[in-house]
Structure 1
Amino acid sequence: MTCCEKAAAGAAALDPCLCGAPQTARAMARIEADLTRRHFLGGTAAVLGLFAGFGLAPRELRAQTPGRPTLLTNLRFFDGTTPSMQTGRDILIAEGRIAGLLAAGTGPEGAEVIDCGGRSVTPGLIDCHWHATLVGISQIAAMTQDVGWVHLMAGREAGATLMRGFTTVRDTGGPVFGLKMAIDQGAVTGPRIFPSGAMLSQTSGHGDFRLLNLLPRMPGDGADHIERSGVAAIADGRDEVLRRTREQLMRGASQIKIMAGGGVASPYDPLDTAQYLLDEMRAAVEAAADWGTYVCAHVYTPKGIMRCIEAGVRSIEHGQLADEATIRAMAEADVWWSIQPFLADDDANQYSDPKSQAKQRDVAEGTVRAFQQGRAEGVNMAFGTDVLFNPRGAASQGRQLAKLTRFMPPLEALRLATGAAGQLLALSGERAPYDGRLGVIADNALADLLVWDGDPERDLDFLSDPDANLRLVMKGGRIFKEQL
């Protein structure tokens, strides 16, 4: 079945030219909500059988009975914003959304009741800096292997991501559009994905992984493997940046990612380099703004961050080398800081190149100061991991979030991966691929909910072992794991 054919019996055919568009994704969600569980399973049995051999078949335990709401009872919950656990309420779910926070024991008759046994309920976690197609493979594999294999590995990792409690990720670079479509249509288990598409990089920038023997690039030369597979797009000058930005928007990007400074993983660019001229950055920002969305930028240094702010970039990715004046400027400009606990510890991405190892140490030294000063200045901060080319490190996703308690109280840290992260995702406006609030337990928010063994007011250590401590995973009202 191709994406342009009917999604299920009785569903309206989709316009082929809108297959990757947000409005198509929303239409698919509405269609699925109208199908009974029996109809859904019958219509997708062949697809599930195809993917089962690769471990990609959806692991959903049960869907909500059509017309019958679900009621979570006997619980304490964190709503994603209020810095305390709340009690005395039940959570009503209907048609994939939170239909109400009711006084305990007052739920409607006929609701399917799930007793949480006094456990903690949180919104689904959000990772604002994830690479769904690049996390579970090595760098050399990403640069050389067949793209079909890369996507199958991404599908396997997507299921593991959801089982860790991350019901949404903002994908900050990579060929993720097909994976997102498969997840949204129910063929593969995984989180909601806010896709950036190919990362935009200048020549010699953080997204330029070409071998030196491929230089110089002449006007008639074709794109290299990384560009053809959709990992990155090399664009120099205003016209080329406009073209590549518009291509990602055409494919369904919910935001645009540019490389505005040196990086750790890239082989040629020192960490202190500034990348993209102001006019080039503005080209990406203007093209994104015309589509009602924004630009996020990989950057570490004060010079690069200040240039991003001037250009109108809305989200700084990393930024651990920012000085006090730059952090204050971020707060004044109402720019978001998508920040990661880069601490050069056992969970860090692994590099064999001594130059990359040295850059990694520099970033780690700035991480503690960045968290402390960012909080002091009141910068809008959201959690991300940026696990990259690191199959073993992918499983550390929850543990990385728990590390934030070194810098702030547990519920504040949890807010960075729930309510605050949802606010950052909302910058995509009409380009957001999902219609509804994320990261909160509130009326009419999307029903992404987790039930944990653990007390988020005390610590977040329980996030480190989701296999043992995560008792229920619900995404959009569908239960993917239940061990209550």
Structure 2
Amino acid sequence: MIEKIGREVKLSGDETIVDAGGRTLMPGLIDMHWHSAYANIPMQKGLNSDHAYHLLIAAKGNERALMRGFTTVRDVGGNVFSLAELTDARLYDGPRIFPSGPAISQTSGHTDFRPSTAVPADRNMPLVYMERIGHVMVADGVPDVLKRTREALRMGATQIKINSGGGVSSSFDPLDVSQFTFEETKAAVDAASDWNTYVCTHVFTDEAAQRALSAGVMCLEHGHLFTAETLKMMKEKGAYLSMQPILDDEDAIQFPEGSFSRQKYVEVTRGTDRVYRMARALGVKTVFGTDALFDPELADKQGKLLAKLGRWYTPVEALRQATSTAGELLSLSGPRNPYPDGPLGVIRVGAYADLIIVDGNPLEDLGLVVDADKNFMLIMKDGVIYKDRLGE
């Protein structure tokens, strides 16, 4: 923890002294839409390999994320509870994890990974592998949603992730569809509230977003097709926008040309510029996340994606999305927060000692976060130094 800040601090004699040499000190970065189990694994491997394979790849991927300066991630879909526990125990190096556990979907929803031939569903048939290992859950109707939400909380979820609308990577649902009724969504919110935490949801469109907000969802993931009406509603309710600075450019997710997912991706990225500009003008609380999926090269661009926020925000506004504002949202987990001893994303007495020493000033040059290997001279998490190039 950060115990003291000042030009003159009385030392006991046991401290390690780090001379930053006039460089800039900033908080560790936070990725609010991360998938530890999926980010660094090709899609075919992800869908056709076992849980142990997923987590072994995830452990190596998260180690690289820490070396990019990301000291905390909010994992919004996947059974990564063991990875979170072993990272806290320092058996693996990586960012601390706020796990949502299984993303909860309706039948035909964004994380319904059953094959097209699995219709009509037979309740006596076994769950598909992604459900059996707890990466996803399918629920229909209020009782089922209550049960699945409570199961995710029982597994150790710090917040709940549901799917309120169509998605890009999913095979069957168009972007315009709304998923989960108001009553089903409210059931997830009620179950999470009973555990003193909150619900975030995958959503792109106004109708689905406004239904979720009316039911009490506190964080909307993506939102690239929102209009000002939805953003104003978010502002009124104090909800957070967890959006990704994705464009159809060299950093795009590589879906096959002409595929259903490729068509949806192009539509989504066309809304990025418009929504960021409106959200900033309206003062909507916005956090940074990457949603890197099935591509280790894309996952390695975490810093580059953060720097892309400079198209719409000043450097300090962009960095707050990945530090202090993100920390505020993480605190909504209340007593489910596994790191309750202090705030995250700030340099303040009593906060977690997640610190980066930057060779340069990112408040003047946001591009410094692109190349962490070169520009981040020291990376600390929980007061432990994981990287130190200052001696060079």
For the aligned pair, the TM-score class normalised by the smaller chain equals: over 0.9
Residue deviations 1:72-104 (CA, integer Å, cap 9, x gap): xxxxxxxxxxxxxxxxxxxxxxxxx1112112x
For residue 11 of structure 2, what is the aligned residue in structure 1? 108
- Worse-superposed segment, 450-459 or 403-412: 450-459
Q: Which of residues 148, 152, 164 in structure 1 aligns to 2:68?
A: 164
For residue 56 of structure 1, what is the aligned residue in structure 2? none
For residue 372 of structure 2, what is the aligned residue in structure 1? 466
Residue deviations 1:419-452 (CA, integer Å, cap 9, x gap): 0000010110000111221000001000000111
Q: Which of residues 446, 451, 468 in structure 1 aligns to 2:352?
A: 446
- 2:332 partner SS: helix
1:402 is aligned to 2:307: yes
Q: Please, which runs of 5 or more residues in structure 2 have no aligned partner?
A: none
For residue 337 of structure 2, what is the aligned residue in structure 1? 432
- 1:215 partner SS: coil
For residue 390 of structure 1, what is the aligned residue in structure 2? 295
Residue deviations 1:349-400 (CA, integer Å, cap 9, x gap): 2111522111111111111111110011111111111001111101000110
Q: Which of residues 366, 371, 375 in structure 1 aligns to 2:280?
A: 375
For residue 289 of structure 1, what is the aligned residue in structure 2? 193
In structure 2, C-alpha distance between the alignment counterparts of 1:107 and 1:265, rounded to whole Å:
54
Residue deviations 1:37-66 (CA, integer Å, cap 9, x gap): xxxxxxxxxxxxxxxxxxxxxxxxxxxxxx
- 1:338 partner SS: strand
For residue 172 of structure 2, what is the aligned residue in structure 1? 268
Q: CA deviation at 1:178?
A: 0.7
For residue 138 of structure 2, what is the aligned residue in structure 1? 234
Q: Which amino acid in structure 1 is aligned with residue 273 of structure 2?
A: V
For residue 389 of structure 2, what is the aligned residue in structure 1? 483
For residue 212 of structure 1, what is the aligned residue in structure 2? 116
Where does 1:62-77 land on structure 2 (aligned, <5 Å)? none
Q: CA deviation at 1:146?
A: 1.9
In structure 1, C-alpha distance between the alignment counterparts of 2:263 and 2:21, rounded to whole Å:
48
For residue 182 of structure 2, what is the aligned residue in structure 1? 278
Q: Which of residues 298, 319, 330 in structure 1 aligns to 2:223?
A: 319
In structure 1, C-alpha distance between the alignment counterparts of 2:200 and 2:33, rounded to whole Å:
10
Q: CA deviation at 1:109?
A: 4.9
Q: Please, which runs of 5 or more residues in structure 1 have no aligned partner?
A: 1-96
For residue 127 of structure 1, what is the aligned residue in structure 2? 31
- 2:346 partner SS: coil
1:363 is aligned to 2:268: yes
Q: CA deviation at 1:303?
A: 0.4
Q: CA deviation at 1:106?
A: 3.9
- 2:202 partner SS: strand
- 2:357 partner SS: strand
Residue deviations 1:263-300 (CA, integer Å, cap 9, x gap): 00001000111000000000100000000000000000
In structure 1, C-alpha distance between the alignment counterparts of 2:208 and 2:175, rounded to whole Å:
11
Q: Which of residues 307, 328, 334 in structure 1 aligns to 2:238?
A: 334
Q: Which of residues 103, 109, 112 in structure 2 aligns to 1:199?
A: 103
Give the conservation status (yes or no) of the 8 Å contact 1:144–1:225: no
In structure 2, C-alpha distance between the alignment counterparts of 1:234 and 1:390, rounded to whole Å:
25
For residue 411 of structure 1, what is the aligned residue in structure 2? 316
- 1:101 partner SS: coil
Residue deviations 1:209-262 (CA, integer Å, cap 9, x gap): 211122222121111011112211011111111111001100110000000000
1:176 is aligned to 2:80: yes
In structure 1, C-alpha distance between the alignment counterparts of 2:16 and 2:116, rounded to whole Å:
61
Where does 1:24-43 land on structure 2 (aligned, <5 Å)? none
- 1:122 partner SS: strand
In structure 1, C-alpha distance between the alignment counterparts of 2:144 and 2:193, rounded to whole Å:
17
For residue 348 of structure 1, what is the aligned residue in structure 2? 252
- 1:118 partner SS: coil
In structure 2, C-alpha distance between the alignment counterparts of 1:316 and 1:158, rounded to whole Å:
24
Give the conservation status (yes or no) of the 8 Å contact 2:362–2:369: no
In structure 1, C-alpha distance between the alignment counterparts of 2:128 and 2:272, rounded to whole Å:
34
- So what's the TM-score if we normalise by structure 1? 0.79
For residue 54 of structure 2, what is the aligned residue in structure 1? 150
How many residues are paired up? 387
Provide the alpha-carbon RMSD of the alignment: 1.0
Q: CA deviation at 1:339?
A: 1.1
Q: What stretches of structure 1 move > 4 A for 4+ residues in a row?
A: none
- 1:316 partner SS: strand
Q: Which has the larger radius of gyration?
A: 1
For residue 99 of structure 1, what is the aligned residue in structure 2? 3
In structure 1, C-alpha distance between the alignment counterparts of 2:251 and 2:82, rounded to whole Å:
29
For residue 420 of structure 1, what is the aligned residue in structure 2? 325
